[in-house]
Amino acid sequence: MTMATEKDLLGRDRADDLEAILAIANQDSDAVIHSVEDNADAIFTWDYEKGERPALNKLYEKAKGAQWNGETDLPWDTDVDPTQVLPAIGSTGDPRFGPDGTLAQNPDLPFGKFGPKEWEEMAVESINWRLSQFMHGEQGALLCTAKIVETVPWIDAKYYASTQVMDEARHVEVFAKYLDTKLTGYYPVNTHLRLLLDDIIQDSRWDMTYLGMQIMVEGLALAAFGFMHQLTEEPLLKQLLRYVMSDEARHVAFGVLSLKEYYAELTDAELRERQEFAFEAAVRMRDRFLQQEVWERLGIPVKPTVKALLDLPAEQNMFQQMLFSKIVPNCKKLGLLDASNGWLRERFAEIKVLQFEDMPDTGEEYEVFDAVTAARQAAS
Ligand SMILES: [Fe+2]
Ligand SMILES: [Fe+2]
């Protein structure tokens, strides 16, 4: 069994290597097209027995009834003030930002001199940046799930994945429309996010698409959307996020249900490769939330700001860690935390996210998240 070091996985010796994090720059941010080799065979199956995997069949039937229309089911006539989409920085309980936040106390950074105008500008850039990255991530999900339709060998999974392709098209569409018609700016794909999406698409093994997308990227998205849904009072975005979350909960369930079966048959060496892939994805996603492009655009020195964020003690970083609250229990349910002598358990402890291991996993949670069906029942 070959044991990858952190250097093999991440191209750097330590997950927190500041120079290495910042050295990865986005080279082609003006290009309209980005192509990636997808290295996989398209698989036909001649076994058409529907419902051979009852949990996936149930999910498929659920998804057929839960489709919604991004143009007509959301209140697009809502007037949106971009400065008010998120509550004022400093009022959200995030200990890092705002006039009393940790970063404002750091004499090497400009935040201490910020007045209301600068904080407002940062809030506007942050929402532009976040929704841009959500949009790019949604396109990643669209491509990955189309790939799953081709590569997964089970008919129930092909059926379900085809509904997810439609879901993801709708998600790209609604985030793009919100950015275009309600906000004030757009950001190219974050370089760490792009590397992660490239890695997922390039892997030839069908289950790695699921692990990277359904478990890691979508697990994080479900937590991040839920978080922003709680924070915002803007009614259009609130409903948009709630509807997207209804779909995302099914998508994560799709990953958990499919991989649970497949991983039960893998050897310890094969599981170890999945653990390493999950850890690499986790670090890339953490790096993307350092939002270096926002600091750049605001003229704030990037390196000391990113360093200050990486150096924060764990209790100050609750907001970042919460993003892993779905990923860690789902990895545990799949047996990935404890395989190979708990390799991933140790790594997750190092990046301070292991505390979520006993939170609810997402195998069944989609029934609770289904706001679309609930709204239809209320209306009829
Ligand atoms: Fe999505
Ligand atoms: Fe999704």
Spatial separation of the C-alpha atoms in residues 75 and 178, rounded to whole Å: 11
- 360 within a domain of the structure (yes/no): yes
- 243 within a domain of the structure (yes/no): yes
Domain CATH number, residue 269:
1.10.620
- 318 within a domain of the structure (yes/no): yes
- 320 within a domain of the structure (yes/no): yes
- 39 within a domain of the structure (yes/no): no
Query: In the structure, what pLDDT confidence band is assigned to residue 92 with cuts at 50, 70 and 90?
Result: confident
Residue 380 has pLDDT above 90, yes or no: no
Taking the complete model, does pTM exceed 0.85, yes or no?
Answer: yes
Centre of ligand 2 from the C-alpha of residue 311, in Å: 32
Centre of ligand 2 from the C-alpha of residue 163, in Å: 10
- Report, as an integer, the average pLDDT of 236-253: 96
Q: pLDDT for 196-208, tens place per residue?
A: 999 999 999 999 9
Range of the domain at 298: 59-65+85-379
Q: What is the pLDDT of residue 1?
A: 46
Centre of ligand 1 from the C-alpha of residue 248, in Å: 6
Alpha-carbon 167 to chain mean position: 15
- The stretches of 35-80 forming alpha helices (DSSP H) are 54-65
Indicate the DSSP class of residue 102: T
H/E stretch holding 378 reads helix 371-379
Q: What is the pLDDT of residue 4?
A: 65
Query: In the structure, what pLDDT confidence band is assigned to residue 366 with cuts at 50, 70 and 90?
Result: confident
Q: Which ligand is nearest to the CA of 171?
A: 1
- 49 within a domain of the structure (yes/no): no
Residue 117 has pLDDT above 80, yes or no: yes
Spatial separation of the C-alpha atoms in residues 221 and 246, rounded to whole Å: 12
294, 125 contact by CB (below 8 A):
yes
Centre of ligand 1 from the C-alpha of residue 41, in Å: 24
Centre of ligand 1 from the C-alpha of residue 19, in Å: 32
Centre of ligand 2 from the C-alpha of residue 10, in Å: 25
- Report, as an integer, the average pLDDT of 278-305: 93
- 3 within a domain of the structure (yes/no): no
Structure tokens at 276: 């390493």
Give ∠ CA 218-220-224 in degrees, rounded to 5.
110
- 164 within a domain of the structure (yes/no): yes
Spatial separation of the C-alpha atoms in residues 220 and 265, rounded to whole Å: 26
Provide the number of structural domains found in the chain: 1
Spatial separation of the C-alpha atoms in residues 361 and 364, rounded to whole Å: 8
Centre of ligand 2 from the C-alpha of residue 17, in Å: 31
Centre of ligand 2 from the C-alpha of residue 377, in Å: 24
